Amino acid sequence: MTETIMVGVDGHAEHRAPLEWAVRRAVRDGSRLELVFVLEHSWGDDADGPGDLLVLAAKSLLATEREAALRIAEAASTRVPALTGPEPAPLRRPGLEVGTRYLYGHVGAELTSASRDADLLVLGARSRSERDHGFAGSLHLRVASTAACSVAVVPHGWTGSGTGVVVGVDGKRPSEAAVVFAAGEAAAAGDPLRIVCVGYTANPLLAGFVPEVTLDDRRRRVLDEAGRRARELRPDVDVRADAIEAPPARGLVEAADGHRMLVVGTRDRHGAKRVMLGSVGHDVLLNVRVPVVIVRAHREGE
């Protein structure tokens, strides 16, 4: 079954880093791409749907973004000419399937609803320089908390630099799904995989009550198990496991610097708990520097 990668677009050319990230992944994996634009429903608007002019504008915006996606796909599919000898034949790939849809309503809620039709939802986030000049937007946080599928958050201006995949583990079930995803990404890109367990060897509140070695031993067991699982799944991937002494969110963000991607897991909560991403995931997404994938352990209905 073909994977569907859904991308939230806003029509700004300077915000196309998420689109490029998604297109390159779709070309690599033969996935279907779907571009989604949400016409904002104002709180004071009593209309049941958007007016004709708004619909026309949305369709025009989506057509422009679709053309941009196809140009990116063409560039991603082009073979680099040989430096010496005869020029190789053009690399032939199946055409990228790009669908579009516009929605009408409140952006976060509409993207969450649309995510039921996707395997991966890709969103943008304000870049580090943008955050330095104002409050960080929270849309990607809300959607990552409530989406029915895994969510990739790509900072505006991301240029695709960096090598290697970093995945955070804590021994709980969500991190198992994160390791599976991260190992697959590392294998597909020919990248090394770095597994990190971030925290403190000893809990300052329990100093004198809990032997430090017990906490350190547990962290090492978590890393050993995650590393063993990754090597079983992808024996061709270079896997490294590290314990990091730092606050979890800050340690994950810093560990991912210079890498291609950071992967973390989240619980598949239901009901009111669905809006809670978890403090670590929340803080990581507030300080996103590289693409971050929030892997949902189980999709709804499964």
Task: Map out the domains of the chain as residue ranges.
Answer: 1-158, 161-302
Looking at the predicted structure, is the pLDDT value of residue 276 above 50?
no
Q: What angle do CA 109, 160, 183 make, to 5 degrees?
A: 80
The pLDDT value given to residue 100: 97
Q: Label residue 32 exposed, middle or buried (CB < 10 Å: 0-12, 13-18, 19+).
A: middle
pLDDT category of residue 93 using cuts at 50, 70 and 90: very low
**Tokens 């991308």 map to which residue?**
7
Phi, psi of 266 (to 5 degrees): -145, 155
**What is the CATH T-level fold of the domain 161-302, as seen in this structure?**
Rossmann fold (3.40.50)
Instruction: For residue 122, give the nearest of 170, 176, 158 by alpha carbon.
Output: 158
The pLDDT value given to residue 91: 44
pLDDT: is 49 or 3 the higher one? 3
Give the Cα separation of 60 and 53 in Å (integer). Answer: 11
Q: Label residue 267 exposed, middle or buried (CB < 10 Å: 0-12, 13-18, 19+).
A: middle
8 near 124, Cβ under 8 Å? yes
**What is the CATH T-level fold of the domain 1-158, as seen in this structure?**
Rossmann fold (3.40.50)
290 near 163, Cβ under 8 Å? no
**Whole-prediction pTM:** 0.85
Looking at the predicted structure, is the pLDDT value of residue 136 above 50?
no
Mean predicted lDDT score pLDDT of the chain: 84
Q: What is the mean pLDDT of residues 39-65?
A: 86
Least confident stretch, 4-18, 25-39, 103-117, 190-204 = 190-204
Chain segment 207-256, per-residue pLDDT in tens: 555 555 566 788 899 999 999 999 999 999 999 999 999 999 999 999 99
Mention every residue, 6+ apart, whose C-beta is less than 8 A from residue 207: none
31 near 6, Cβ under 8 Å? no
Give the Cα separation of 189 and 25 in Å (integer). Answer: 10
pLDDT: is 203 or 117 the higher one? 117
